[in-house]
Every structure is written in C-alpha cells, then in structure tokens.
Amino acid sequence: MSAIRIEDLTKDYAIGFWRKRPYRALDRLSLEIRSGEVFGFLGPNGAGKTTTLKLLMQLIYPTSGHAEILGKPVGDVATRQRIGYLPENPSFYDYLTAEELLTYFARLFGYPAAERKRRVTMLLDRVGIAGERRLQLRKFSKGMIQRVGIAQALLNDPDVIFLDEPMSGLDPLGRRDVRSLILELREQGRTVFFSSHILADAEALCSRVAVVAGGRLAASGLLGDILAFEVRGWELVVTGAKPDVLASLSHIFTRRTEISPGRYALELSLDHPPEQVLSSLIASGASLISLNPIRDTLEDFFVRRVAEAGPRESNAVGPTAQIPRSGVG
C-alpha cells in the first residue's frame, strides 16, 4: 500500500511586480512512497523540495496534478491526525515555552490532559530538551528550535512523517540523534519522507530516494539500483609490487598512489579487466591486499543529474520569464 502518491504535481508562481510572469517551481512530479519506508527526497537548494512538501501539507495549492496521503487527498483535515510535519527552519511562538507549545499542539490533536502531559514529557526527553522545557522559545538556539520542531512533528505518533531538511541547524551530536530517531521510526514501521541536500544522510537512512533538480524529477528508485549501474572502475591495493612493473603498466592506471613504502592503491578504468593486471602484478611478486569496484557516490550521481537538468532558466514558463533564486526550494 502506498503511503504517499503524487501524480503530475505542478506548481507555477507568478513573479514580477507590474507584469506578472509565470515561473514553474515544480514540473509534473510523480512519485509513490510505500508504507513503512524511509524515502529520501534529494536535491540542491531551489530544486523544488520544499515546494513539494508545502504542496503535500497544502500550504500552497498546485497549479495542476494531484497528491494523496494515506489514500486521502492532501488537505483532508482528518488525515492530519495521522501525519507529522517538520518545516524547513521551523519557527514558533516567541513567548511560549517548549512545554506550552507542545501542550498547545497536543490539544489541537484532541488528547486528554493526562495523555498530553505524558506525550509532551516523553518527547521533550526524547529530543533532549527536557531541561529547557520552561524556557521561552525566543531564548532557544537554532538547534534547540529544530529539536522542538522534531518533537512537535512526532507528537501524535504519526503514521507518516514529513521532515524538511531535518538535520538543518544541528550539531554533529544532534545529527546523530536525528539519524537514530529516523531509524527508530523505520523500525516501528512508520513512513518517513525527508528532504535533504546532504547526501550522506540519504546514504545512511534511505531505502529509496528521488532526486529533483530544477523542479523536475531527475531519478528515483532504490538507492542500490541507482548506484549499481554507476560502477566506473576498480581499485586494487597491492604490496611488494616492483617499481619497473608498475611503470610498465602505468598507461593502464587512472591513478597510482603510494600509501606507504611498497604499498600502492591503483585505480583502473572499466576498459581494463582487473584480473589481467592482477595476474601481471602477482607474477612479479606482488601481493593483493584488496580489490574493490569504484562506484559513483550519491554525491557524484547528484552533481551529474543536476548538471544534466540544466540551468534554472529552463523552468521559466513563457519566452521572457526570469528566474528568482529565492522563495522556492
């Protein structure tokens, strides 16, 4: 069963002061996120990630297309009882304390007093701000506000959680905490849809990802599938190789690095099968330490797809449209 279904979702904004011109922030995005998976929604700044999340939360309305969460159209108020949302760089009420804010939101979910207290106490503790529960939010640092944001997103024990740049503003310890929290949510069978431009987060957490660039879907699928087709060479680590043998093979190596005396890391392109090189080296008295395929990292994939998507100007609708760099993400 799909937790989130997005079909041809498109969002145009009118830009300009006097002469309004349409600008396409999101272009016919289609995605399906299965129940219980951690889905990474990746892309550089301005790619359309935040626009997509705002459309799913119905903070903005689509120009065309359709989206559903848990089988109900987005905007269905009852469905919000089962979803959690952390906006990008969240902000709350300056004069409320963290405890008051969470209690206020818990009331909106209709929990009775004892349940409100239990949930608020548990979540403040879970995100590591139990000690600051009675401090007004205007005195909180960015990282602490982010933690409050995560707590309010989990307040209703949601089935589907939307996290927009959840690691933003967090120190390494905070990032580690959020990662373990997302993994915990996955173990509990929750669906997590999170946007990020930090690819290491996706590599550590996601089973499937989608990459958006320039408002368009550049790729989507299992992380392993996306990267499996991107093996671009081999790395051999050998010891005891004779310098004259290495010199005779130098035209084959794309890179040769002496890690320590007599120990080399050698990179081969896909044109040269590693077995042949390896047999030549072993015949000359070298020993194999390791042999590994060189894969594209998600970072490489990401950069390449963004470059393929072209400049943002391609998103302007109409012949003379200009492109803003802010306001959409």
Name the site residues for another protein (rule: CB under 8 A): 13, 54, 57-61, 77-78, 80-81, 83-87, 89-96, 100, 104-105, 107-110, 136, 149, 152-153, 162, 327-328
Minimum distance from residue 201 beta carbon to another protein (Å) = 21
Minimum distance from residue 78 beta carbon to another protein (Å) = 7
The dihedral built from the CA positions of residue 38, 43, 46 and 48, taken in this order, carries a sign that is negative
Minimum distance from residue 241 beta carbon to another protein (Å) = 59
Minimum distance from residue 52 beta carbon to another protein (Å) = 14
Q: Which residues contact 115 (CB under 8 A, 6 or more apart)?
A: 106
Minimum distance from residue 112 beta carbon to another protein (Å) = 12
Q: Of 54 and 208, which has the nearer Cβ to another protein?
A: 54
Q: Of 78 and 283, which has the nearer Cβ to another protein?
A: 78
Q: Of 96 and 291, which has the nearer Cβ to another protein?
A: 96
In angstroms, rounded to a whole number, what is the distance separating the alpha carbons of residues 209 and 32? 11
Through-space distance between the first and last CA atoms of the chain, rounded to whole angstroms: 29
In angstroms, rounded to a whole number, what is the distance separating the alpha carbons of residues 310 and 208? 24
Backbone angles phi, psi at 87, to 5 degrees: -75, 165
Q: Of 23 and 234, which has the nearer Cβ to another protein?
A: 23
Q: Of 53 and 309, which has the nearer Cβ to another protein?
A: 53
Nearest to 265 by CA among 244, 284, 286, 295: 286
